Structure 1
Amino acid sequence: MTVLAALVALVGSLFFALGSALQQFEAAGDARLRYLVRRPRWLLGGLSIACGAVLHIVALGLGPLTVVQPMGVASLLFALPLAAALHGRRPTRRELTAAAVVAIGLIVLVMMVPAGGGPIEFSPREAAVLLGIAGISAILLWAGSRLAPPSGRAALLATSSGVLYGATATLIRVLVDGGWNWWYVLALPLPALLALMMLQRAYAVGHFGVSFASLQIADPLTAVAFGALLLGEPLPSGVPPLLAAAVAAAGTVALARTSPLDRRTS
């Protein structure tokens, strides 16, 4: 079952990578959602991402997180060649090497996060704190992106999206593990929609590798941070997690220097 879980998660990563590449290709022309939702290729990308998410959930039901999570991070290695092919080019060796460095650092870091246990309790006040922190962080990152060069702009916008997706994931965990609450259900669409808009803006810049890597890093780490801050879950400790984070950050910086500026050509 563990091998099956790994295979299902790997296929899910491929679907997620394909969907992200398709959406970036369309967003590189115009990042406005009212434009994108009328483009079949962008909608197909959304469907592919949804399939990837479902397969990831199925994989978690078949095997342990320690096996499934690394397969999810592998989507970065699938996404770059797929995006490059859509833009009519081949990914460079330096680009793929930088992506591999990001994936290795993130896999090690995620594997070191201690597993939480017990029922999750989450008050409306804590939900407001969650949304407030995520919203302020996203605004600051968006403001910083306006002053950054293209690769930095892509990274900051994608990180903003990752923070909002991390907040959304935390709310979903509370709903699944802690009990149904209509207020949380009503609150979910706001950070999710803002995250989607920020991500399309990041894709519109054109540095897909930087955007996707930043999203891959920011989303799970934000969820871990919120889990520790609001749910009392443990954080990884010691030097190895810091080294893993440094490796992932170094890979992202390398991607920012090597990832070509891709624009939609058809």
Structure 2
Amino acid sequence: MTDLLISVAFAVASAGAYALGAVVQERLAVRLGAQTPWRAIVRALLRARRWWLSVALNAAGALLHVAALAYGPLSVVQPLGVLTLVLALPIGAAFTARRVAARQWVGAAATVLGLLLLLTLTVPGSGDGMTAADGTVLIVASAVVLTAMIAGTAALRRPVPRSLLYATGAGVAFAVASALTHAVTREYAEHSAAALIGPTVPAVAAMAIAGVLLSQLAYRGGGLGAPLATVTLANPVASAVIGVALFGERFADGPLAMVLLVCACGTAGVGILLLAPPAAVTDTADPTTDPVDAVPDRPRPLALCRR
């Protein structure tokens, strides 16, 4: 019981770190504006201390998640990850001195319910490891998918659909990074330092960086709730697809399971739609009124990018 409580504590702390990191990223996106070219955004973020704070918070969330898995089962730790969305809404509201609208709470609840139902329908596999060929296929396939998603954002004129596509890409990148990390961990346990030689470790770093950057771009024009809900949903969905393809996992069989699967996806989708309109409105606010902007150590490159 003690190990389980420690695991839950680590998982909740992980969700809190991810939530705070998401809020910092969204506030930076508001200050940059929705029309700033993404290349200029990347250059500005690399010079901004608050961007590195968000990176540190995301890294802390990942480490706490790993610690939670060391003390408790995945079946307990994974569902607690949805607390990220629940915690981010009041934290974001506190940063902007606004109340969380009832519509946003309903959207968050629907997204969490759909995601939890989806997680219960995933049947664990045999636990076989990923082969080198499987890893190569996963790296190449994910790179192609992410490139297609980034290219697809150029064809979207409305900010909210564009932000949701970026958020989906971020969720996919995080899921691939997690799967590759799992493979490296297994290899390291069997072959020690030899597991660190090869393309897998650089691919993990590349996917993690891509996930953070894509999630940052997702907060432009989409507010906080809808992009974060999309990342939170896309990550386990992509992980489930990877698990089915490479780790022998599967979704529950039978007509009832299929109905529940459709209901889970539909409920989560409705939740994201409920989150999107009010979140998009906050992006039109004057960035100079943002409490985050009032701090003395505001990074100057961000202000320059708004010209």
TM-score of the two chains, using structure 1 as the length reference: 0.90
Distance across 1 between alignment mates of 2:203 and 2:63:
22
* Among 203, 221, 224, the residue aligned to 2:240: 224
Aligned to 1:127: 135
- Greater C-alpha Rg: 2
2:251 to 224, 235, 254: 235
Tell me if structure 2 keeps the 8 A contact 1:150–1:207. Answer: no
> Offset of 1:106 from its aligned partner?
0.6
Quickly say closer, same or farther: Cα 1:127–1:258, change in 2 above 3 A.
same
Contact residue 26 and residue 223 of structure 2 kept, 8 A: no
Q: Does 1:42 align with 2:57?
A: no
What residue is the counterpart of 1:186 in the other structure? 202
Tell whether 2:159 aligns with 1:157.
Answer: no
* In structure 2, C-alpha distance between the alignment counterparts of 1:46 and 1:140, rounded to whole Å: 25
User: Which letter does structure 2 place at the counterpart of 1:60?
Assistant: L
Bigger drift between 94-103 and 228-237 goes to 228-237
Amino acid at match of 2:28: E
Match for residue 6 of structure 2? 4
* Alignment partner, residue 298 of structure 2: none
Q: Which amino acid aligns with 2:139?
A: L
Residues 56-79 of structure 1: per-residue CA shift (max 9 Å, x gap): 222222222222222211110111
Shift of 1:152: 1.2
Q: Which residue of 1 aligns with 2:270?
A: 250
Instruction: Give the aligned residue type for 2:242.
Output: F
TM-score (norm 2): 0.79
CA distance, structure 2, for counterparts of residue 181 and residue 242 of structure 1 = 40
CA distance in 2, matches of 1:236, 1:172: 26
- Name stretches of at least 5 consecutive residues in structure 1 with no aligned partner: none
| 2:250 partner SS | coil
> Which stretch shifts more, 189-198 or 98-107?
189-198
In the alignment, the residues of structure 2 paired with residue 225 and residue 27 of structure 1 have an alpha-carbon distance, to the nearest angstrom, of 30
5 Å-filtered alignment, 1:57-206, equals 57-124=66-133, 126-146=134-154, 147-179=156-188, 180-183=195-198, 184-206=200-222
CA contact (8 A) 2:12 2:83 kept: yes
Q: 1:194–1:4: structure 2 CA closer, same or farther, 3 Å change rule? A: closer
8 Å contact kept, 2:170–2:211: yes
2:228 aligned with 1:209: no
Contact 1:165 1:191 in 2 (8 A): yes
Deviation at 1:181, TM superposition (A): 4.7
Q: Which amino acid aligns with 2:215?
A: L
CA shift for structure 1 position 22: 0.8
Query: Number of paired residues?
Result: 265
Contact 1:163/1:219 (CA < 8 Å) preserved in 2?
yes
For 2:59 and 2:12, the matched residues in 1 are separated by: 15
Deviating 4+ runs (over 6 angstroms): none
- 2:192 paired residue number: none
| Aligned mates of 2:130, 2:64 — CA distance in 1 | 28
Query: Of the two structures, which has the highest relative contact order with CA contacts closer than 8 Å and spacing of 6 or more?
Result: 2
Between 41-50 and 92-101, the greater mean CA deviation after superposition: 41-50
2:207, 2:10 → 1: CA distance? 28
The range that moved more, 32-41 or 100-109, is: 32-41
Look up the match of 1:14: 16
Percent identical pairs in the alignment equals 29
Decide whether the 8 Å contact of 1:122 with 1:231 is kept in 2: no
